[in-house]
RNA sequence: GCCGCUUUAGCUCAGCCGGUAGAGCACAUCAUUCGUAAUGAUGGGGUCGUCAGUUCGAGUCUGACAAGCGGCACCA
């Protein structure tokens, strides 16, 4: 019996039935046999030595197919890690461990008396992994009967594995992989032919962590070990280098170096904005205010502290109280700090009679919200407990809704573009299991969002079941300079608050109607957006956003008077400018302002003072440009304009 | 909130087996007036995160708490 195997070059090979991809590779040539890591059989990844029982299209996978090869080796590293840990720490249960974006992890249940693994354990585990790789143990696939496997896991005290196997359908055959003949794990595969195919210099164990069994906090917490794994040492080095570069642009580090903000123990998750950071914050607010005005929004301001009665009406007191800061006054009245701006927004709409002629009403608020986030969630500016949203609520008729959604989406994307973010992903989150409203309404609202997206010709990803309980939503995720994703903007349809606050407008027919309420934020939170901008630009913000746009630095004290004049001219032109008249060498001044990421330095010495000129030095530039004061002011004024006012 | 780790001068960090603190940068003063990424000298600065405990004696050992870091969970 033979099987016909077609190869990517169009050729066909007859092989005995039960031959393997490895046999095919060896038949083609020793070079390929050595390079082959796995095979793609009719499109699916297969072990090199798994028998082929039928006619197939076969493609050998080598390191050249990097994505597939990385996935394979990372999966193998995870298995080697698990084997190493069980060798070193008998009694540790294995659970499971997949490949990740840059490596792998494996979750373990160490014996209680041993406790979770710590970073101090990693070197020994790495060494054991290298021993397993050096032993070049064959990785062999075997198919087991489900119940027999469960029995085996139980007998060995592997309760997590047994539980996992028991969730698989009854009667199903389950594949396991042997490493040599002394260790095995249940696994779908595929794997490399042997552990020796891994590069012992291309991985590193990086950190440990707790992780809940099956992601559920009610389950026991396992001890997770993370590693990064690659095809060769060079790739590993490159990855470690990238991590170092990313650490340099960490917004928390930049915030300190650029003197933008700080945090302190008495106010966890709350930002102390320094003058420079606040200048940036205000510039962003100004920009958003102009853009919203141009888009025909009105701006309002609602109270930060409101009676619990309001939060009972909105439902927050019931559903969100554990995340709310509340306070009781001397007279026994209970107030809460707003965790969201919407109840204030709806109250604003409810005040006074509204007509259909008032709609659409686009009501913006730069509202500071306060949420008691879990302590472990806090992260610099990215996740804080007190933050300012560029929030807006759009009240409109059902007929206006799709158009309003289109307007919002257009505005969001245009604003991101002006910040230099062109790569924006859109996610549509649809009805969750637990929700209000009937299916027909959900159909209509989800349909309106889809219609708006399609009307603009935009691609989007579907997040089924991820919508809010009160309505579907769009999320705008932007990708920064080093490929990280950040969810910023959101557009949500709300069928809850209009009901709860019983708001209405008088229609053309003279009857009372319920408006559609849309929530929308573009930057999301100013705090987080500033964090993203800092990391995206590695602190070198565009001129219009730079906290200090220019420093006039003197070379000799004879130029102090001239430096003062230059700075005054620039300040009068609207620039944020400082002078540096210190009795220090110009080298030092250049260095310090460069480290502070000041985009422009205007250096003045005796010569410039006499000639009425300035030497303009751009951040990081080798050369300067000698300009008259008038030319320099005109140039910088134009360059410092925000993008919506014609700036770069 | 959960797991692990960390917390010493403004910042980055050293401090062995418990014997009551040290460096570089920063800061201040003085000298230096200098042409594009660190001028030199001198000096001041610390209830060693907080609170308990062990001990003759705690930065060092133990516990609780707090904050931070890396994950997990959370982000209606």
Model pLDDT for residues A461-479, shown as the tens digit of each residue:
999 988 988 999 999 999 8
Q: Is A393 part of the annotated catalytic residue set?
A: yes
Chain-wide mean pLDDT for chain A?
A: 93
A613 pLDDT higher than 90: yes
Chain A residues 87 to 146 whose Cβ lies within 7 Å of strand B are: 115-116, 118-119
Tokens at residue A554, please? Answer: 């003197």
Neighbours of A155 (CB within 10 A): 9
Q: Provide the pLDDT for residue A497.
A: 94
- What phi, psi does A461 have (nearest 5°)? -105, 150
pLDDT band for position A302 (50/70/90)?
very high
Sequence-ordered list of residues with C-beta below 8 angstroms from that of A594, at least 6 positions apart, any chain: A601, A619, A620
Neighbours of A34 (CB within 10 A): 11
- Three-state SS at A569: helix
The helix (run of H) or strand (run of E) holding residue A155 is helix A146-155
> Is 70 exceeded by the pLDDT of residue A376?
yes
Residues contacting residue A449 through CB under 8 Å, at least 6 positions apart:
A405, A428, A472, A473, A474, A491, A493
pLDDT of A40 reads 92
CB A122 within 8 A of CB A205: yes
Residue A189's pLDDT band, with cuts at 50, 70 and 90, is confident
Strand B contact at CB of residue A246, distance < 7 A:
no
Q: How many CB atoms lie within 10 A of CB A151?
A: 13
Residue A113 has pLDDT above 90, yes or no: no
Distance of CA A488 to the CA centre of its chain: 10
Per-residue pLDDT, A429: 94
Torsion of the alpha carbons at A125, A131, A132 and A133, rounded to the nearest 10: 110
CB atoms within 10 A of CB A541: 21
pLDDT at A112 over 90: no
Asked if the model's pLDDT at residue A388 lies above 80, the reply is yes
Distance of CA A526 to the CA centre of its chain: 16
Q: What is the pLDDT of residue A648?
A: 64
Distance A259 CA to B26 C1' (A): 14
Stretch among A74-78, A169-173, A536-540, A600-604 having the lowest mean pLDDT = A169-173
pLDDT above 90 for A131: yes
Query: Is the model's pLDDT at A596 over the cut of 70?
Result: yes
Chain A residues 428-447 with Cβ under 7 Å of strand B are 432
- Cα distance between residue A408 and residue A297, in whole Å: 11
d(CA A73, CA A231): 7
Three-state secondary structure call for residue A328 = strand
- Considering the candidates A40, A393, A537, A597, report the single residue annotated as catalytic: A393
Asked if A582 CB < 7 A from strand B, the reply is no
Q: Verify if strand B has an atom below 7 Å from the CB of A600.
A: no
Nucleotides of B under 7 A from a protein CB: 1-5, 11-12, 31-39, 66-76
In this prediction, residue A500 has a pLDDT band, given cuts at 50, 70 and 90, of: very high
Is the ipTM beyond the 0.95 threshold? no
Beta strands across the sheet bearing A103-109: A93-94, A103-109, A221-229, A203-212
Is pLDDT at A480 greater than 90 in this prediction? no
Point out the catalytic residue in the list A40, A276, A383, A473.
Answer: A473
Helix (H, G, I), strand (E, B) or coil at A1: coil
**pLDDT tens digits, A4-46:** 999 988 888 888 988 899 999 998 988 988 899 999 999 889 9
Reported for A31-40, long-range contacts at CB under 8 A and 24+ positions apart, including other chains, are A32/A60, A32/A62, A35/A60, A35/A62, A35/A63, A36/A60, A36/A61, A36/A62, A37/A61, A37/A62, A37/A63, A37/A69, A37/A72, A37/A73, A37/A192, A37/A193, A37/A197, A38/A68, A38/A72, A38/A190, A38/A191, A38/A192, A40/A68
| Distance from residue A586's CA to nucleotide B10's C1', rounded to whole Å | 24
Return the pLDDT at A640. 96
Distance from CA(A225) to C1'(B3), angstroms, rounded = 12
**Predicted confidence band at A552 (pLDDT cuts at 50, 70, 90)?**
very high
């007190």: which residue's tokens?
A386
CA A113 to C1' B61 (Å) is 22
At A483, the pLDDT band (50, 70, 90 cuts) reads confident
């Amino acid at each position: 019996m033979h099987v016909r195997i077609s190869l990517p070059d169009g050729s066909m090979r007859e092989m005995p039935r039960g031959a393997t991809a490895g046999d095919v590779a060896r038949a083609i040539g020793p070079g390929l046999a050595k390079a082959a890591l796995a095979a793609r059989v009719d499109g699916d990844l297969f072990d090199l030595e798994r028998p082929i029982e039928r006619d197939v299209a076969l493609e050998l996978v080598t390191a050249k197919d990097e994505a597939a090869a990385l996935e394979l080796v990372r999966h193998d590293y995870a298995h080697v890690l698990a084997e190493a840990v069980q060798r070193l720490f008998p009694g540790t249960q294995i659970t499971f461990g997949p490949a990740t974006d840059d490596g792998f992890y494996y979750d373990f249940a160490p014996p209680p008396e041993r406790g979770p693994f710590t970073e101090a354990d990693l070197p020994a585990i790495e060494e054991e992994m290298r021993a397993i790789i050096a032993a070049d143990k064959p990785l062999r696939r075997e198919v087991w009967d489900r119940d027999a496997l469960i029995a085996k896991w139980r007998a060995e005290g592997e309760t997590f594995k047994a539980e996992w196997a028991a969730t698989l359908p009854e009667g199903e055959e389950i594949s396991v992989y042997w490493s040599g003949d002394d260790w095995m794990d249940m696994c779908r595969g595929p794997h490399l032919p042997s552990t020796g195919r891994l590069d012992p210099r291309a991985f590193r164990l990086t950190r440990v962590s707790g992780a809940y069994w099956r992601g559920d906090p009610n389950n026991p917490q396992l001890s997770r070990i993370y590693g990064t794994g690659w095809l060769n040492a060079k790739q590993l080095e490159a990855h470690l280098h990238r991590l170092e570069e990313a650490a340099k642009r960490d917004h928390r580090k930049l915030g300190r170096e650029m003197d933008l903000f700080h945090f302190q123990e008495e106010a966890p998750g709350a930002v102390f904005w320094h003058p420079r950071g606040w200048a940036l914050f205000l510039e962003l607010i100004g920009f958003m205010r102009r853009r919203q005005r141009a888009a025909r929004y009105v701006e309002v301001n609602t109270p930060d502290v409101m009676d619990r009665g309001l939060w009972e009406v909105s439902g927050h007191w019931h559903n969100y109280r554990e995340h709310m800061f509340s306070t009781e006054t001397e007279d026994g009245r209970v107030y809460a700090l707003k965790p969201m701006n919407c109840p204030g927004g709806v109250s604003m709409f409810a005040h006074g009679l509204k007509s259909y002629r008032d709609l659409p009403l686009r009501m913006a608020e730069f509202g500071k919200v306060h949420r008691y986030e879990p302590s472990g969630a806090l992260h610099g500016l990215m996740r804080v407990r007190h933050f300012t949203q560029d929030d807006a609520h759009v009240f409109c008729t059902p007929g206006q809704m799709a158009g309003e959604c289109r307007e919002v989406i257009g505005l969001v994307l245009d604003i991101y573009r002006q910040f230099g973010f062109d790569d924006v992903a859109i996610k549509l989150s649809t009805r969750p299991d637990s929700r209000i409203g009937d299916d027909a309404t959900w159909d209509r609202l989800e349909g309106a969002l889809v219609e708006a997206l399609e009307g603009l010709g935009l691609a989007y990803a579907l997040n089924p079941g991820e919508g809010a309980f009160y309505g579907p939503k769009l999320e705008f995720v932007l990708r920064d300079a080093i490929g990280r994703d950040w969810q910023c903007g959101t557009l949500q349809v709300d069928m809850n608050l209009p009901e709860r606050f019983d708001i209405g407008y008088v229609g053309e027919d003279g009857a009372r109607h319920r408006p559609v309420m849309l929530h929308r934020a573009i930057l999301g939170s100013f705090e987080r957006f500033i964090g993203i901008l800092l990391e995206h630009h590695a602190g070198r913000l565009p001129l219009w956003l730079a906290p200090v746009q220019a420093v006039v630095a003197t070379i000799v004290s004879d130029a102090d008077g001239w430096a003062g004049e230059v700075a005054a001219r620039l300040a009068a032109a609207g620039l944020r400018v400082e002078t540096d008249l210190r009795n220090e060498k110009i080298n030092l001044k250049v260095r310090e302002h460069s480290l502070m990421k000041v985009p422009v330095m205007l250096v003045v010495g005796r010569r410039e003072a006499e000639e009425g000129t300035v030497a303009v030095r751009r951040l990081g530039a080798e050369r300067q440009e000698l300009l008259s004061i008038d030319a320099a002011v005109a140039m910088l004024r134009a360059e410092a304009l925000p993008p919506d006012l014609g700036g770069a």
